[in-house]
Chains A and B, each alone.
Chain A
Amino acid sequence: MSITNTSATIIQPLPAASSNWLRDLVGIAIILAAAIVGYFLFPNNLALLTRMIAIMLFVLSLDLVTGYCGVATLGHAALFGAGAYAAGIAAAHFGVTEPITMIAIGAVGGAVAGLVSGVVILRGHGLAQLVLSIAIIHLFHEAANKASNYTGGSDGLAGITPDPILGLFEFDLWGRTAYVFGIVLLIVIFVLLRILVRSPFGLLCRGIRQDPVRVSAMGASVKRTLIKMYVISGVVAGIGGAFNAVSTQVVGLDSLSFTNSAEALVMLVLGGVGTLFGALIGTIVFIGVEDFVSAANPFHWLTIVGALLIAVVLFAPKGLYGTAAALVERYRKGGK
């Protein structure tokens, strides 16, 4: 059902490779510029910006399965939370406090969770798929709650004290190290994902989103490709979760919650499904507005999110980035 009416957009000439690299460079420059501006504009609020980076990685990973593969999921936080808990448990119970190792452990944790939930979720289609994804996130949540010896249950997992990065940069009270670490992580992953979505594998995923029957008729295995993408998505989400654990030094049960999944989906749709920039922009706008409004009244915040969602669905189905990109495109064509 979700795939049928996107087929109109199939035939699009791919931009030349050189302009792609140029775009990547511009993208990296914009992220860097935004990061530096953020650092100097909100020197006392770096914790918020750092959280934003972790969530950005999470939303990027959701974009991989929802935007590029067309899998509607409300259970993606399972991957994020698995990464966070994997890194947190390694640090708190097994004494692995080297931050880059923790991130790697988180990536592995996320990949395993991605494999498990990918295999389960891809079993169904449509409603069944959605319900399976919801069941997965609740299952992970209950399991983490029950295994309180390892996860701390509803109290959260504390006692994570990461070592200095590379033995040089210590995590300071103001969160500067964590912020810079996060930016570096974000840029590396962003570049890797740009390469991934442009690779033959990424194009195959897009083909599956548009017409799975045709792709399987061409001889590609739809399910295996999707599961691979789920594992990759798990790696990215796991890195996001692990980074969150490293920077905040706690892991809460809410990282494995349904609300977390739903919010990530809202951010992705707000920014624009199927574009990496959209995922980044959606996260910035959502968390920025949330921080501003929820200080006033959390319930008004919920009403605003609801109204925002309805408005995006009705008036800007491509999201903020998609709509802006379309406007720019139209302006350019008009100029010629």
Chain B
Amino acid sequence: MQTFFSIGVDALAYGMILFVISIGLSVTMGLMRVVNLAHGAFAMIGGYIASYAARDLGLAYGLAVILAVAGTIIIAIPLERFLYRRIYGAPELTQVLMTIGITFCVIGIANYVFGPTLKTIPLPPDLQGPVDLGFRTIAAHKLFAIFCGVAVALGLWYLIERTSFGVKLRASVDNTAMAAALGVRTKIVYAASFALAVGLAAFGGVIGAELLPVEPYYALRYMVTFLVVVSVGGAGSIPGALIACLLLGAIDTTGRYLVPEYGEFFFYLAVIAIVWVFPRGLMGRAK
């Protein structure tokens, strides 16, 4: 029972972190059809900025999170303008190569600037230590991660289903040319959703730093996981991404607890099985 409970909490926290980071990737992939392998690199940049702000400058945690999100978006804008715009609509191989190239560059630069060691982001006192739920205690930062994931999911749902920006976004996802013909400024929708995606990645990178430690190879190590989430969930689908994150988080965490000697064997086996049965993802739509 104890193991079951801790697996449950860990899986939930891990799944929520995955969700916060990869939902942006899912939205941009559904919208712009860009296989962005550099998404994890943006999460890593966010983690580095927050670590620098909180640990080296001694700023408050909340401020560090805001700085990380803003800083990552500022770094990402010129990349979008000069590199990503050239590969919209390009063959996949081109997109994969370009974004892997960006990832390699970010890893190299991060290692040069910050060194190869793990960077920690000091948590505020409120998030340290355990929280007593009455019948069990769980680590506060895991609770915080779960809370953030739920908040992001609800916020995104509201933004996409209930606001006029959401209407334009959905219209552009469904049919870009038609949306543009009806007066939606799709370029601005593209840029805004790219910024949103990058911002969420950075946010996830910061709040998930306890579970996915920030180091130069972060971008490569978790890149695969984020891609898998999008592919399993179905590009562009929020509920799909949420289900995929919870499912994959549960499989991965259970595997690590029960059969650690197999590493990620069962995780990838499950991925193959799911993608085999649902080639367009759990909630993906036929083209």
Question: Which residues does A use to contact B, with CB under 8 Å?
Answer: 1-3, 5-6, 66, 72, 74, 120, 123-128, 130-132, 134-136, 138-139, 142-143, 145-146, 258, 262, 265-266, 269, 273, 299-310, 312-314, 317
> In the assembled complex, how far is the CB of residue B284 from the closest CB belonging to chain A, in whole angstroms?
9
Residues of B within 8 A of A303 (CB): 104-105, 107-109, 112
**Can you report 8 residue pairs joining A to B where beta carbons are below 8 Å apart?**
A72-B96, A125-B279, A126-B92, A134-B228, A135-B271, A139-B268, A142-B263, A300-B112
Residues of B within 8 A of A132 (CB): 271-272, 275-276
Most A-side CB within 10 Å, residue of B33, B96, B116, B265: B96
Cβ contact within 8 Å between A124 and B93: no
Cβ contact within 8 Å between B276 and A127: no
Residues of A within 8 A of B148 (CB): none
Q: Given A131-B231, A314-B86, output 4 extra A-B contacts at Cβ < 8 Å.
A: A135-B271, A139-B265, A269-B93, A310-B98
Question: Which residues does B use to contact A, with CB under 8 Å?
Answer: 29, 33, 35, 83, 86-87, 89-94, 96-98, 100-109, 111-112, 116, 216, 224, 227-228, 230-232, 235, 261-265, 268-269, 271-272, 275-276, 279-281
> In the assembled complex, how far is the CB of residue A226 from the closest CB belonging to chain B, in whole angstroms?
15
Are A1 and B228 also in contact (CB < 8 A) when A307-B101, A309-B98, A313-B97 are? no
> In the assembled complex, how far is the CB of residue B32 from the closest CB belonging to chain A, in whole angstroms?
12
Within the assembled complex, what's the spacing in Å between the Cα atoms of A89 and B269? 24
Within the assembled complex, what's the spacing in Å between the Cα atoms of A136 and B264? 12
Cβ contact within 8 Å between A124 and B108: no
Closest chain A residue to B105 by CB distance?
Answer: A306
Are A308 and B101 also in contact (CB < 8 A) when A131-B275, A138-B264 are? yes
Residues of A within 8 A of B87 (CB): 313
> In the assembled complex, how far is the CB of residue A43 from the closest CB belonging to chain B, in whole angstroms?
33
> In the assembled complex, how far is the CB of residue A122 from the closest CB belonging to chain B, in whole angstroms?
10
Cβ contact within 8 Å between B97 and A265: yes
Within the assembled complex, what's the spacing in Å between the Cα atoms of A128 and B276? 9
Cβ contact within 8 Å between B272 and A120: yes
Main secondary structure of the interface of A (DSSP, over half): helix
Closest chain A residue to B284 by CB distance?
Answer: A128
Within the assembled complex, what's the spacing in Å between the Cα atoms of A303 and B105? 4
Within the assembled complex, what's the spacing in Å between the Cα atoms of A142 and B107? 24
Cβ contact within 8 Å between A128 and B279: yes
Within the assembled complex, what's the spacing in Å between the Cα atoms of A1 and B227? 17
Cβ contact within 8 Å between B100 and A127: no
Residues of B within 8 A of A134 (CB): 224, 227-228
Are A124 and B101 also in contact (CB < 8 A) when A1-B92, A135-B272, A142-B268 are? no
Residues of B within 8 A of A143 (CB): 265
Most B-side CB within 10 Å, residue of A123, A312, A313, A317: A313
Cβ contact within 8 Å between B269 and A273: no
Most A-side CB within 10 Å, residue of B104, B107, B232: B104
Cβ contact within 8 Å between A309 and B111: no
Most B-side CB within 10 Å, residue of A74, A124, A146, A302: A302
Residues of A within 8 A of B112 (CB): 299-300, 303
Closest chain B residue to A146 by CB distance?
Answer: B262
Cβ contact within 8 Å between B101 and A262: no
> In the assembled complex, how far is the CB of residue B165 from the closest CB belonging to chain A, in whole angstroms?
25
Within the assembled complex, what's the spacing in Å between the Cα atoms of A1 and B276? 19
